[in-house]
Amino acid sequence: MWIVIKYKKKKELELIQDLKKKINSKIEFYIPKIKYKLKKKNSSYEVEENILNDYMFVKCDKFKEKNFINLIQFSIGLKSILDNFKISQNNISNFLNKCREHEKEGTIRNSFFSFIDKSDFIFLTGPFYRKIFRIVDREKNFLNITINEMKLRISNKNLVFKNL
């Protein structure tokens, strides 16, 4: 059974280790991440970022027991466990399958965002770094977008952005 937890970003590894220790059983973690390069002055570096900010998915058969959820409630770095995870198992599985379809070498490709329309996105690289935009139309190799009220047509090749 999958649960969705909110965690402290700087305590991600400590949380994973603490959960493994407390659960002491088969456990699976899934954090959908994107990877991109940032250029700063004369150098560039690679950044890996969780597309869901500070949420992760954790799977264990023991989560079916309410007492077991109470046991992990006070794990290091855990902010909260989202309610209604029992009735949302199909939705969670569908989302995770969609993420895995668009994964390459452990990170999500931008094709993952192709099914999301009428939503705000933010550029993670390029001349529009950290600018918010909206997709108006999609073509084979191009996106028609609006930034503020300016309309642009840009190539979606090597474009790195995420949903807000």
Mean pLDDT by 10 residues, the chain (164 residues): 93 94 90 84 85 92 84 91 88 91 86 70 81 84 85 81 76
Rounded-to-integer distance, Cα 18 and Cα 15, Å = 5
User: How confident is the model at residue 58, as a pLDDT?
Assistant: 95
Tokens representing 6 are 């909110």
β-bridge mates for residue 2, sequence order: 59
User: How confident is the model at residue 161, as a pLDDT?
Assistant: 79
User: How confident is the model at residue 115, as a pLDDT?
Assistant: 63
Burial of 120 (0-12, 13-18, 19+ CB in 10 A): exposed
3-state helix, strand, coil in the chain (%, to 5): 25, 40, 35
User: How confident is the model at residue 118, as a pLDDT?
Assistant: 63
User: How confident is the model at residue 156, as a pLDDT?
Assistant: 75
Q: The whole model's pTM is what?
A: 0.74
CATH of domain 115-164: 2.30.30
User: How confident is the model at residue 158, as a pLDDT?
Assistant: 72
β-bridge mates for residue 161, sequence order: 123
Q: Which of 133, 52, 53, 106 is nearest to 156 (CA)?
A: 133
User: How confident is the model at residue 97, as a pLDDT?
Assistant: 92
